[in-house]
Amino acid sequence: MQAESHPLEPFFQQMVRNSYAGKLGIHDVEITRYVAKLLCEFSESEKLYKLRDDEGRPMHALEEMIRAADPIHGTATSFDAERAVRKHIGDYALFVSGMYPESLEATALWRRRHGQQSFEELVSAGKESYYIVSQFDLEEYAEEAPMFRRLSDWFDRCIYGLRLVRDELSHGKPGFLPARVN
């Protein structure tokens, strides 16, 4: 039985395909499909902040998310949990840097006080996280591992493609990051 698709999926598939293949020359059906599904998933803001700390509060700081991914010194209970957290970090980094880059333009002092990452830190963590996910290339993860390697390698281009999607959706007007879930 096939899982039911999100009602926005055909719309986002077309938007991503137009930007990625039509404007950037990224003719990768797997990546196009993955990014469209990511847009559907994160259209619900609680999924953007789905990582939780020990008290059940959403994690907002990149540093906190990365710490949670560590199965040795962090809170990930297994290597599968590490992979899931790293996948989310890559997804979060791609989505925020592509769709809401202005949310990362705060001053360095404000970022330090509020645990907010810079654009460069977010991009670096996203690339690294997708690369780590691509290294889980055995058993049930073997088939999708190469796609995560391409996402890591093409991360900057994928961000630009999402900016093109955003511009198409907003007609060039900046968007606002969805409210944080508590």
Helix (H, G, I), strand (E, B) or coil at 104: helix
Angle at CA 13, nearest 5°, toward 133 and 153?
Answer: 30
Q: What CA–CA distance (Å, rounded) separates 74 from 51? A: 13
Q: Indicate the number of domains in the chain.
A: 1
At 77-131, the pLDDT tens digits run 888 999 999 999 999 999 999 998 887 766 454 555 555 678 899 999 999 999 9
What is residue 127's predicted lDDT score, i.e. its pLDDT? 98
Of all residues in the chain, what percent are helix, strand and coil, respectively (each to 5)?
65, 0, 35
Residue-wise pLDDT for 40-88, tens only, equals 999 988 899 899 888 889 988 888 999 999 888 778 888 899 999 999 9
Answer whether residue 99 is part of any domain. Answer: yes
Residues 6+ apart with CB under 8 A from 180: 45, 49, 58, 60
Backbone phi, psi, residue 104, to 5°: -100, 5
Is residue 162 within 8 A of residue 34, CB to CB? The reply is no
**2 assigned to some structural domain:** no
Dist CA 147 CA 52 (whole Å): 27
Say what the pTM is: 0.86
Residue 77 placed within a domain? yes
Q: List, for residues 21-37, the tens digit of each pLDDT value.
A: 999 999 999 999 999 99
Q: What are phi and psi of 143, to 5 degrees?
A: -70, -40
Residue 27 lies in a domain: yes
Higher-pLDDT residue of 179 and 47 is 47
User: Is 180 contained in some domain?
Assistant: no
Residue 175 lies inside a defined structural domain of this protein: no
Within-domain flag for 147 = yes
| Better-scored residue on pLDDT, 2 or 147 | 147
Residue 107 lies in a domain: yes
Report how far residue 150's alpha carbon sits from residue 154's, in angstroms, rounded to the nearest whole number. Answer: 6
Strand stretches in the chain, DSSP E: none
Which pLDDT does position 6 carry in this prediction?
A: 87
Q: Can you give the residue range of the structural domain that contains 151?
A: 9-170
| Burial label, 179 (beta-carbon count in 10 A; 0-12, 13-18, 19+) | exposed
Burial (CB count within 10 angstroms: exposed 0-12, middle 13-18, buried 19+), residue 27: exposed
